[in-house]
Amino acid sequence: VMKFAPYGTFGLIAGAIGSQGWDAIKAMGLYMIVVILALFIHTIVTYGAAIAFLAKRNPLTFFKDFSEVMLVAFSTSSSNATLPVSMDVAQRKLKVPEPISSFVQPLGATINMDGTAIMQGVATVFIAQVYGNDLSLTQLLMVVLTAVLASIGTAGVPGVGLIMLAMVLQTVGLPVEGIALILGID
């Protein structure tokens, strides 16, 4: 099944491009840029500030020491698959005591899915725009609330954010079929 998944994804994207033309590629590229930019800003502002003010460490040094973990996380798209490397680096390079690391990191790998929440919010707005729906302020607040709550209870496995996105889309009355538009990018 996994060997044929790329062909299925290609078919979904080809269908979207076939029905909407090159504007679909431009829109999907813009979607991808917005998600990456939002994740980058979140990393620098939220995590950088927490590292600087709460941990009293230099964020650049921290990110350099933790780069091995970020590379594994990027390549696996899974916080759970990254957990052994993350715990090793935290204990070895960052000098986090093992009892603290053993408790906090597995908990964080399960309930700290900020990237998933960001992707779901951006994807919902993107899908609404593709279908020509304007989301009200109340609907946008529902997207934020649902995405955050869904990201807290999401398993740390690749692709689960798309499953949770279906719930977020249903909350604001958008068609779940819109997920096919972002499947290849995700």
pLDDT tens, 14-57? 776 676 667 777 878 888 899 999 999 999 999 999 999 998 99
Tell me, what DSSP letter sits at residue 2? Answer: T
Q: Is the pLDDT of residue 155 over 70?
A: no
> Quick one: pLDDT at residue 153?
67
Domain end call among 111, 143, 172: 111
Same domain, 125 and 156: yes
**Which pair of tokens denotes residue 178?**
């819109």
Same domain, 102 and 50: yes
Same domain, 107 and 122: no
Backbone angles phi, psi at 57, to 5 degrees: -125, 160
Percent residues over pLDDT 90 in the chain: 31
Q: Which residues make Cβ contacts (< 8 Å) with residue 144, sequence separation at least 6?
A: 121
Domain end call among 68, 92, 111: 111
- Of 4, 10, 16, 14, nearest to 127 by C-alpha is 16
Domain of 100, in residue numbers:
41-111
150 vs 183: CA distance, rounded Å: 18
Same domain, 91 and 140: no
> Quick one: pLDDT at residue 106?
86
Confidence band, pLDDT 50/70/90 cuts, at residue 157 = low
Exposed/middle/buried for 178, CB within 10 Å: 0-12, 13-18, 19+?
buried
Number of domains in the chain: 2
Ranges 13-17, 21-25, 125-129, 175-179, most confident: 125-129
